[in-house]
Structures are given as structure tokens and as C-alpha cells.
Chain A
Amino acid sequence: MSAEAFLDVQGVTKRFGGFQALSAVSLRVRQGERFGLIGPNGSGKTTLINCISGTLRTDGGRIVFADQDITTLPAHRRTRLGIARSFQIPKPFTSMTVLQNLMIPIEYAGRGHRDGVVDEAMGILGLMGLAAKAHVPSAALTQIEMRKLELARAMAARPRLLVSDEAMAGLSSTEVDDILAILFELNQRGITIVMIEHIMRAVMRFSERIAVLDAGEKIAEGGPDEILADKRVEKAYLGE
């Protein structure tokens, strides 16, 4: 496996009818990296994530993960290879308890191990601070708990690459710190993380490198300080 690119997005293009959502976007994420993806509303961040996780098919370009071309693989196969995501708008399995929510990825994406599934799920819930809610119906959770459940469920798929799609939107600043601490902890454990976020304070603190999308194109890439100093980024966010 090349140390250079763990996730290699090569010229990915996506159209919705006449609307060009992504125009030849390329980016490379290294193994173990904390990578931030930012951009104004409608710039194509979530579309790109959907292409990487497989819920959308690309109209052009290639996606390579861990030296394997995954461009045409269905989403569930990508999850089994080690790409897990959380959703911007939480999508819990509402008829299940919190614990049962985690059992789905453990059973389906956990690559064939049977024993100790409940222990594994409880371990993840403990890490996320959700252990006390294990047997609560997921529909009864609060906003921040649902976001934690999103991350916990993605973790239960045993990812090597975790894509967190605006896990902090709408949370208070202490809650943002909570989620950030969890993401740092996961990264410590060797999980590569791609974070999409609007909360600049969080992205800047978390990311080692950042890519900026605007109107479906990548306009900048680099360390947090470079991005903050970039004139094109400033223009994309604030206008002329």
C-alpha cells in the first residue's frame, strides 16, 4: 500500500441533470491523516462524500481506496472495505434501540466475527458517552445524542476511514468540544478521518490539511494557516 494516498479521488465529476455538482475534483488523503473538507453551502461537499461512500455513482473520474479501485462498488461493499460515514441529518434506525443500531454494522460490516458483539457495541457506546442510553429507543434521543449515535454506528463498522459529515452542526460550543474530543480519540486509534464542517474553529483545530470546494471545484488545499491566508477562499466565503 502506498503511504502517499490512502484515499485517492481522481478527477471525480457528478452532474444532476444540467447542474454540474462536481467538476473533476481530485484529492488525496494519507493514512492516519485528519483531513478537513470545507466550502460554502451548495459547493458539493456532501455530493463528494456521497460519491466516496457509494450512495451516488460518479459520472467521471476514479476513486481508489487502499490501492483498490472502488469507483463502481456498491456502498455496502465499500463499508466492508473500511469506509464508514455519518450523515449530516442523522438517519438512525428508528424502530431499534441505540444498541441495536450498532448491531447492524457490527453484524453486516464487521467482517465475519460473531462472539462478543454486544461487548464491542457497548465499548463504542462507552467511548461516545452513550452507554447509559444503550437500551433507549433511538427515536427518543436528543439532537447531540443522535449525532453521537451517528458516529458510534459508523465506528461499529470498524472503519479504516471515517467520513464525518457535519457532525457538529447546530450544537453548542461545549458539545462541539465533546465531538471533537471523540474524533481526536478515534484518530489516535489509527483511523483516518475526513471531516466536513461549517464550524471553522473546529475544522481549523482538527485538520492537518484542508481542501476547499466552491461551486463543485476544488479551489484550495493545504494546512489550516495556508487556507486562512488564501485569497480565493476568502472570496468564496465573503464575495468580492
Chain B
Amino acid sequence: MGARSFGVVALAIVVAGLAVTRVLDNQYYYFAGYVVLQYVVLATAWNILGGYTGYVNFGTPAFFALGAYTAVVLIQSLKAPLAIQLVAGAIISGLLGLALGYLTLRLRGVFFSIATLALAVVLQTMFINWEYTGGARGITLVRPASAPLFGNYVQFLFVVMLGLAVLAVATAWWIERSWIGRGLTAIRDNEEAAECMGVPTLRLKLVATTVSGVLMGLAGAPFPYYVTFVEPTSVFDLNYAVNSLAMPMIGGSTTWIGPVIGAVLLGTAQQIATVTISSALNLLLVGLILVAFVILAPEGIVGLVQRLARRSGERTRRSGV
């Protein structure tokens, strides 16, 4: 997809989202849509490090929660508007990504993953013990009654998250086509060979951890106003770690569209399961689907479609001869 058609589609999606808020009145759809879009951001962010670079991050909750808690602090101390919360959440989580990159430079493979898991545990313990943000009990926040131009604040948050999703996907799309993306792929394929072929592996890995952190922080920053109650167990939930990893794996982790497909399919399925069966079923559902994909279609839906297309192409060529 060229830059222009990508831009047109992105714009059309935002406009469609805005149009929906003029027509659709049932608040549930905005709540559910927000969650799905939030997962588009998280899955896309995860994939920049996990899919493109090959570093599996189990610490998504750390970045997401840090974005959310940054917003909580800003609301508590300054009554800062959402735009400020977003920028601050992005910066703080981006810095965490940079720090993680620096601290784990020498770690590869599974050791990196363990370090990211530890990061989430450490941060959660910190917020459990920080009274200012509510400690273990959590904190209740008052959502603004209305947003300018939108009236309803939840509809406003939905459109904000839609914009963030487009931003995240555009970032991944751009990285994939740039020299950065080609360097990240070389690192994933063989880090030593990449370094010996002139790729500054260290710097590129820092770019990946930072960009991934920024996007995850952005996903977390609007969360306090969305739920109006923030507590460590819910923002550090295992769901975020598992989903942001499973969605790109299921969609396909080598292209920008993979995490989007995975997040939309899996996110929607989870929302439906929550309403119709039970919310506790979500992780089980994800787990089963993930196991099925790892066994049957390790390259995800995108890889599966490409493989089928190639096979049918060969068949038509053969039957033509």
C-alpha cells in the first residue's frame, strides 16, 4: 500500500469514527470499541519490538500502567487536560522503554523476556505502595461531564483512541518501509550478522524499545478517565501482556496489518464473550486460539493467506500449462 492510499484509508477511518458518534447512541458500543482500539495500539506497539525486532516483551502491563498512572498523577495534582496526560504518558513510558533497552542490552532471547516480566512486577509493587495514586485500594477519578464538540465524554474518548490507533499503525507502517525497519528485520534474523554488516544494532534496538514504550504509554494515558477507577491489579493485568503478544501472533507479526487483524478479531471476540458468557473466559479463549495458531498457522492469518494465495497461484499456472 502506497503512502497516499494509506493516508486516505487512515483518514476515512477517523471520519467514519466521527460519523458514528453522530448516529449511534448506545453507550455500550463506545465502551467496547474503545477496548478493541486500545488493543490495536498495544498489539501494534508490541509488534515493533516483538515482531519486527524479535525481542519478546512480557512487560506490556508496565508500560500501559505507567501511562495510566502518569495521567492519574496529572489529574490529581493539576487537573491537567487529556492532551497533556497523553503527551506526558507517552514521554514517561517512552523513557521506561529507553531505560529497559539500556539495562537489557546484553540480554537476548528468553532472558530479555524474563527481564520485561520482572519490570512489570517491580512497577506494580511500587504503585501498590504509593499512597498518592491510591495504593492497593485504588483511586476513583471524576470524568469530565462532557467534551467540547462531542457532548458525551465516552464518545470523545472513543474517537481519541481511534486517533491513537491510526497513529500507532501509521508509525508501524512507516517503520516497516524505512531503513529502520530493514535494520530491525536484520537484527531479528541474525543480530551478529546485522552488526557485522554495518547495522548499529544497539541504537536500533533502543529506537524499537522507545517507540514501543511511547505507544503503550499512549494507550494507557486515557484509561483513568475511561474506567474512572484505577487500581494496580486491573492496570497491571496479565490480560495486557498476553493479548498484546497473542494478537500479533494470531494476525501475523511481520507486517503492520497483522496486529490490527489480530486485535480486531480477538478483541471483538473477547467483548462478545464477556457479554454473552463471562469475563473470566477471555484469557482461556485467547490461550486456546493462540495454541491453535502456533500449531496450525505459525505465521498468523497474514502468513496463512499469503501461503494459500501462493498455492492457488501455482495451481492456476500449472492447470494453464
Residues of chain A whose beta carbon lies under 8 Å from any beta carbon of chain B = 53-55, 74-76, 79-80, 84-85, 87, 91-96, 100, 103-105, 107-110, 153, 156-157
Contact = CB atoms under 8 A, between A and B. Distances in A.
B193 A95 contact: no
A55 B192 CA distance: 7
B186 interface: yes
B196 A53 contact: yes
B193 A108 contact: no
Contact of A80 (B185, B190, B198): B198
Centre residue among A79, A85, A108 by max chain B CB count within 10 A: A108
Contacts of B186: 93, 96, 104
Given A95-B254, A107-B179, A74 B196 contact: no
A95 B184 CA distance: 12
B183 A104 contact: yes
B200 interface: yes
B195 interface: yes
Contacts of A93: 185-186, 189-190, 193-194
A103 B185 contact: no
B302 to A, nearest CB: 13
A75 B195 contact: yes
B199 A108 contact: yes
B197 interface: yes
Interface of B: 179, 182-183, 185-186, 188-190, 192-202, 254
Contacts of A80: 198
Centre residue among A75, A96, A100 by max chain B CB count within 10 A: A75
A87 B193 contact: yes
A53 B189 CA distance: 19
25 contacts: A53-B196, A74-B202, A75-B196, A76-B199, A79-B197, A84-B197, A85-B196, A87-B193, A91-B190, A92-B190, A92-B193, A93-B185, A93-B186, A93-B190, A93-B193, A93-B194, A95-B188, A100-B182, A104-B182, A104-B197, A105-B198, A108-B183, A108-B200, A109-B198, A153-B197
A105 B195 contact: no
Nearest to B202: A74
A107 B199 CA distance: 9
A55 B189 contact: no
A179 B259 CA distance: 43
Given A74-B202, A93-B185, A95-B254, A108 B192 contact: no
Contact of B185 (A85, A96, A105): A96
A96 B189 contact: yes
Given A76-B198, A104-B183, A104-B186, A91 B193 contact: yes
A151 to B, nearest CB: 13
- Pick the 6 closest A-B CB pairs, nearest first: A109-B198, A108-B198, A93-B189, A91-B193, A105-B197, A79-B198
B36 to A, nearest CB: 29
Nearest to B194: A104
A79 B194 CA distance: 11
A125 B179 CA distance: 22
A104 B199 contact: yes
A84 B196 contact: yes
Given A93-B189, A108-B179, 13 more contacts: A54-B196, A74-B195, A74-B200, A79-B196, A87-B192, A91-B190, A94-B189, A95-B188, A104-B197, A105-B197, A105-B198, A107-B179, A107-B182
